[in-house]
Amino acid sequence: MDRVIGGKFKLGRKIGSGSFGELYLGVNVQTGEEVAVKLESVKTKHPQLHYESKLYVLLQGGTGIPHLKWFGVEADYNVMVIDLLGPSLEDLFNYCSRKLSLKTVLMLADQLINRVEYMHSRGFLHRDIKPDNFLMGLGRKANQVYVIDYGLAKKYRDLQTHKHIPYRENKNLTGTARYASVNTHLGIEQSRRDDLESLGYVLMYFLRGSLPWQGLRAGTKKQKYDKISEKKVSTSIEVLCKSYPSEFVSYFQYCRSLRFEDKPDYSYLKRLFRDLFIREGYSFDYVFDWTVLKYPRLVVVPEVGGRAGLAAGPAIERPERISVGREVRDRFSGAAEAFSKRNISSTSPCHDHSKNKAAEDATLSKHAHPDSGKRRSSSRYGSTSRRAVVTSRPSSSGEPNDIPQKPTIINRWSHVYHTKNPTCLGGQNI
């Protein structure tokens, strides 16, 4: 196909692939901006990009929602051009030896709840909340969390009539079993409460380093899901959150107390963690664990008025870390170095205020994507993961790069916007 998409996005090297098709690095020839370009054959049996692009259109304007730059058909491909983002929270979790400090988890929790709340305010459930589907931004947005992968998203209510989808049972598991809510395992139709329960498991995964139902062995996928379900149901909230602040128990108790159609009190959940944050004496300075690991003696400290100062010495207490072996450390060290170099220019913290626009939503055309318990082959720009939609292996593609490369994080911290089941939009700039 033509190496220029939509008349202005030049295709570079291939940086990822998966069940959705292929992902390329691109550059806007008019501005020099680097972008991500997803290609999907028009002959694919289960097209996805039309549906995903519609979700992007409906969600545009929200904080932490990647910008859809162009969608259309070029030659034999459906093409979507979107923002290039940074590493996923799973990538950063691995870089931090698979354990995050309470301070980092609480700073993330505030943004993550906002992202879920925004999607819900637009009438959609995400249904695949996991670390791989949250990415950090780049440059001045390096402290901002983005939510990606709307392939399993589902409309749960009509924004005009506010009619909620009906309660159903005997549903197949949709999403990722590790983070699925108990009700999802039990076959109950998902609603807003389930996204939030899944988010709770993500937070405990970061704090604990793993969840009690990881590593279970079984002969078939169904048997494994059943084992995960049994372990999850039999593990009390108190046991799951043992040795951690009681606010996490309160979070789960609240999520599990919600009825199917209930609107969650997102402010209450954020307040739980904000009050804990203040009580612990932390400063909301956007100094995450990965910041400290890279700059243990020189930390960017945001000042009042949006200017950044440099402070010598560790800004926060280093969390206790477990060893993950030299291979993992080597794999991520170069990426983190490049990530830090690219983002040290950020001069002010990103204030996270979700924009709940009052404009009417365009109506999504009818779509049906069968709920599936299958783990989707995942891919981040240039890799696939054993268990998730987004991973962090460097691309091994030997294809020539048509774009002059800078020594940035793109070569290693690559990610993919992966989805399931779409529908249509004509080629256009968004």
Are the C-beta atoms of residues 68 and 60 closer than 8 Å to each other?
Answer: yes
Q: Express the helix, strand and coil content of the chain in percent, nearest 5 each.
A: 30, 15, 50
Instruction: Write the single-letter amino acid at 325.
Output: G
In 55-90, which positions are buried (b, 16+ CB within 10 angstroms) versus exposed (e)? bbbbbeebbbbbebbbbbbbeebbbbbbbbbbbbbb
- Listed in order, strand segments (DSSP E) in 126-256 are 134-136, 145-147, 154-155
3-state secondary structure of 2: coil
CA 397, CA 16: separation in Å to the nearest integer? 8
Annotation: binding site for ATP? 38
| Upper half-sphere CA count for residue 40 (Cβ side, 13 Å) | 28
Task: List the catalytic residue out of 91, 128, 132, 149.
Answer: 128
DSSP characters for 383-394? Answer: B--SSSS---PP
Neighbours of 247 (CB within 10 A): 19
**Any residues with CB less than 8 A from the CB of 119 and at least 6 apart, and which?**
59, 62, 125, 126, 147, 153, 195
What length is written for the chain? 430
CA 342, CA 363: separation in Å to the nearest integer? 39
Examine the residue annotation and report whether 128 is marked as an active-site residue of this protein: yes
Annotation: binding site? 38
CA 80, CA 82: separation in Å to the nearest integer? 6
**Tokens read off for 312:** 């010598």
Neighbours of 387 (CB within 10 A): 15
**Tokens read off for 18:** 């998966």
CA 106, CA 411: separation in Å to the nearest integer? 30
Which residues are marked as active site? 128
